Chains A and B, each alone.
Chain A
Amino acid sequence: MTKALGVLLIVTLVVLMAVSGVLLQYVFLYPLFMSFLWMIGGIYFYWHWERHGVRDTSPPKIENPPLVSILIPCFNESRNVAETIAAAARQTYPNFEVIAIDDGSSDTTGEMLDQLTQSYPMLRVAHFRANQGKAMALRMGALVARGEYLVCIDGDAVLDPDATSYMVRLLINSPRVGAVTGNPRIRTRSTLLGKVQVGEFSSIIGLIKRAQRIYGTLHTISGVIAAFRRSALQRCGYWSLDMITDDIDVSWMLQADHWSIQYEPDALCWILMPETFKGLWRQRLRWAQGGAEVYLKQIRTVFQWHRRRMWGLFIEYSMSLAWCLGLVTTVVLWAIGKFVEMPEGLNVPSIQPPVFWGLFLATSCLIQFTVAMVIESRYEKQFLGSIIWVIWYPFFFWIITLITSLVGFPKALFRKRDKRAVWANSDRGVTSCIRP
């Protein structure tokens, strides 16, 4: 029933636009206006929160630092786990423990973790006999953790030494903050796909998070680097076991429960990303499907008055989905119109945009990248050079986003909710295979 409501909402939106003759304008103008909205929000965030930062001097000092538990779920991470644990153990935050959860790995991850406990006194390990999925690993990690604040990273991520201090400071300073998301930085830069993603993560992920912070709600934390207040998670029931993207789900749950989620760009975390088309496709499809699952789950309650805080987020997501469906509908209407005489409102004489629209779209995308990279150059110096490669983004990545959204939504629609989400084999960059 709720799934039908979700579909009905999007389809109605698209049909109304098609009948009133504004579908083509919407398809071209929505990304243009959103791009500038993100830029304005991102610049405001920078102006208000970031420009006076003390990044180059020292991490924030916290009086009487409470115990923080760093949770690291690992599944077949024998190639990366030693580096990940070493980086986590180097935190400048003075009071922390590291809990690695070996989620039934079939390689030597478990043995390696046991050995590492001898080198790192703050390291604790929980082994699962069988693979249970990341959400269960995080749940069990939280269960055996002693800290009220939980920092969660992936088993192949390298945490910056000051990241915990930056994130936990926000949780301590405001009782309203339920979670803090950090700033993932891409390590794998050997192929064209890797290089484009470097720009994408700052432009799309970083700038949008800054803008969303300004209007109050974040679509998602970054699952690879986030900190949580345990009491907020306790109220929401921790991570859902049946959602394909636990990070999007927990973000919506926390915010629906009136917790604020902050973005801390100073909390850096170095991550591996896919560098093959197949790996990228799988990852983006998972993101799209996960977003749709959360949307369909939350639509039951989002219209209630006490959830009004979620309306902005909900409208933004609905409009993005409507954009994907609208673009396809435009092409379909144009194709049908080649053979059948269409009524006035549904007639699409040409799918080629008026000349300036394409120009505005591509230019606004490139301006967005430039703005984001200037802001982000504070965190990574030699990073402006990657603008050469971002020309691919408006042409190639938008199409991937469009197709994965169109494929992911029906997959979410027909997926059984009680089916447990487990780890997928992921591509961590072609170079990770040849690293010593």
Chain B
Amino acid sequence: MHPSLIIDQSSTRPVETRRLDGILSALMWLVYLYMVREAFIDLYYIITESFEWMVADYERPHLLAISDLLHTLGFYVIIILSNGAILITWALYNQYRFRGLDRRKNPKPVSVADLAGLYGLPAQDIENWQASRILVMDHHPDGTLVRVISKDGGQILSPPPEEPALMQPAVPW
């Protein structure tokens, strides 16, 4: 990567705006931490109850606070792992099934005649355009190509006016 490709002109922005970006982002992280507070509270209960149970011969921790969480988490983990297993099985199946196979032959490169057929243009004109370095193209508002000028050769090429070239090829479906 060329470092010069990165355009970071933050320093040209007002200091207040940059500070605001930072403050707002910090606030968003706080919102996120607020959302995870329940998890921290439950974690606190687990640690303190377990400690009391082990050290102070306290009653067995009930762990009710986290049972819902563990149940929900377990369910989600099963679904996530199942989805992942299906995806990877599918990938492995495809690798095994199609290994070394090229059922499609290398397609024939598109020729000028193919292009001429698709667009309804004279093949010779297309060949001339492909040989030219600078072209000027005129289109009708409906997309029809009405005139092409080759600037480098000073040559003017155009389809017959009574039979304008249609640039809307017939799509095969």
A46 shortest CB reach to chain B, Å:
13
A396 shortest CB reach to chain B, Å:
8
Contacts of B80 in A (CB 8 A): 33, 36-37, 40
Flag if A214 contacts B87 (CB, 8 Å). Answer: yes
Contacts of B154 in A (CB 8 A): none
In the complex, whether A124 has a CB less than 8 A from a CB of chain B is yes
Flag if B10 contacts A190 (CB, 8 Å). Answer: yes
In the complex, whether A11 has a CB less than 8 A from a CB of chain B is no
Please report the C-alpha to C-alpha distance between residue A175 and residue B94 in the assembled complex, in whole angstroms. 17
Please report the C-alpha to C-alpha distance between residue A216 and residue B87 in the assembled complex, in whole angstroms. 10
Task: Knowing A189-B7, A190-B13 are in contact, say whether A301-B135 is a contact too (CB < 8 A).
Answer: no
Residue of B nearest to A139 (CB): B167
Contacts of A129 in B (CB 8 A): 136-139
Contacts of B8 in A (CB 8 A): 189-190, 431
In the complex, whether A424 has a CB less than 8 A from a CB of chain B is no
In the complex, whether A191 has a CB less than 8 A from a CB of chain B is yes
Interface size class of A (residues with CB under 8 A): 35 or more
Flag if B170 contacts A237 (CB, 8 Å). Answer: yes
In the complex, whether A398 has a CB less than 8 A from a CB of chain B is no
In the complex, whether A392 has a CB less than 8 A from a CB of chain B is yes
In the complex, whether B153 has a CB less than 8 A from a CB of chain A is no
Contacts of A268 in B (CB 8 A): 1
Flag if B139 contacts A187 (CB, 8 Å). Answer: no
Please report the C-alpha to C-alpha distance between residue A327 and residue B79 in the assembled complex, in whole angstroms. 22
In the complex, whether B5 has a CB less than 8 A from a CB of chain A is yes
Interface majority SS (helix, strand, loop, mixed), chain A: helix
Flag if A127 contacts B134 (CB, 8 Å). Answer: yes
Flag if A124 contacts B134 (CB, 8 Å). Answer: yes
Flag if A395 contacts B28 (CB, 8 Å). Answer: yes
A37 partner, pick from B35, B83, B105, B173, beta carbons under 8 A? B83
A2 shortest CB reach to chain B, Å:
13
In the complex, whether B32 has a CB less than 8 A from a CB of chain A is yes
Flag if B25 contacts A388 (CB, 8 Å). Answer: yes
In the complex, whether A341 has a CB less than 8 A from a CB of chain B is no
In the complex, whether B51 has a CB less than 8 A from a CB of chain A is no
Flag if A358 contacts B35 (CB, 8 Å). Answer: yes
Please report the C-alpha to C-alpha distance between residue A231 and residue B118 in the assembled complex, in whole angstroms. 12
Please report the C-alpha to C-alpha distance between residue A171 and residue B133 in the assembled complex, in whole angstroms. 26
Task: Knowing A189-B7, A356-B72 are in contact, say whether A44-B87 is a contact too (CB < 8 A).
Answer: yes
Residue of B nearest to A132 (CB): B139
Number of A-B contacts (CB under 8 A): 188
B85-101 contacts to A, CB under 8 A, are 87-88, 90-91, 94
Flag if B107 contacts A229 (CB, 8 Å). Answer: yes
Flag if A432 contacts B135 (CB, 8 Å). Answer: no
- Against B, the Cβ 8 Å flags (1 = close, 0 = not) of A171-202 are 00011100000000101111110000000000
A41-93 contacts to B, CB under 8 A, are 41, 44, 48
A366 shortest CB reach to chain B, Å:
8
Contacts of B44 in A (CB 8 A): none
Task: Knowing A33-B83, A188-B7, A215-B87 are in contact, say whether A359-B21 is a contact too (CB < 8 A).
Answer: no
Flag if B39 contacts A359 (CB, 8 Å). Answer: yes
Please report the C-alpha to C-alpha distance between residue A176 and residue B136 in the assembled complex, in whole angstroms. 35
Contacts of A158 in B (CB 8 A): 5
- Against B, the Cβ 8 Å flags (1 = close, 0 = not) of A222-263 are 000000011110111110010000000000010011000000
Flag if B1 contacts A381 (CB, 8 Å). Answer: yes
Flag if A176 contacts B172 (CB, 8 Å). Answer: no
Flag if B114 contacts A234 (CB, 8 Å). Answer: yes
Please report the C-alpha to C-alpha distance between residue A420 and residue B143 in the assembled complex, in whole angstroms. 9
Contacts of B124 in A (CB 8 A): none
A369-427 contacts to B, CB under 8 A, are 379-381, 388-389, 391-392, 395, 420
Contacts of B5 in A (CB 8 A): 158, 187, 270
Contacts of A391 in B (CB 8 A): 25, 28-29, 32
- Against A, the Cβ 8 Å flags (1 = close, 0 = not) of B9-32 are 110110000000100110011011
Please report the C-alpha to C-alpha distance between residue A191 and residue B10 in the assembled complex, in whole angstroms. 7
Residue of B nearest to A361 (CB): B35
Please report the C-alpha to C-alpha distance between residue A360 and residue B8 in the assembled complex, in whole angstroms. 33
In the complex, whether A136 has a CB less than 8 A from a CB of chain B is yes
A254-280 contacts to B, CB under 8 A, are 256-257, 268, 270, 272
Q: Which one of A13-21, A143-151, A314-322 is at the interface?
A: A143-151
Contacts of A139 in B (CB 8 A): 167
Please report the C-alpha to C-alpha distance between residue A72 and residue B105 in the assembled complex, in whole angstroms. 30
- Against A, the Cβ 8 Å flags (1 = close, 0 = not) of B122-147 are 00001001101111111100010100
Please report the C-alpha to C-alpha distance between residue A312 and residue B104 in the assembled complex, in whole angstroms. 22
B154 shortest CB reach to chain A, Å:
14
Contacts of A105 in B (CB 8 A): none
Residue of A nearest to B84 (CB): A40
Flag if A301 contacts B173 (CB, 8 Å). Answer: yes
In the complex, whether B47 has a CB less than 8 A from a CB of chain A is no
Flag if A36 contacts B84 (CB, 8 Å). Answer: yes
5 A-B contacts, Cβ less than 8 Å apart? A139-B167, A232-B107, A392-B25, A420-B143, A435-B7
**CB-CB nearest 10 A-B residue pairs:** A237-B171, A431-B9, A40-B84, A231-B107, A148-B109, A36-B80, A175-B106, A192-B21, A190-B9, A391-B28
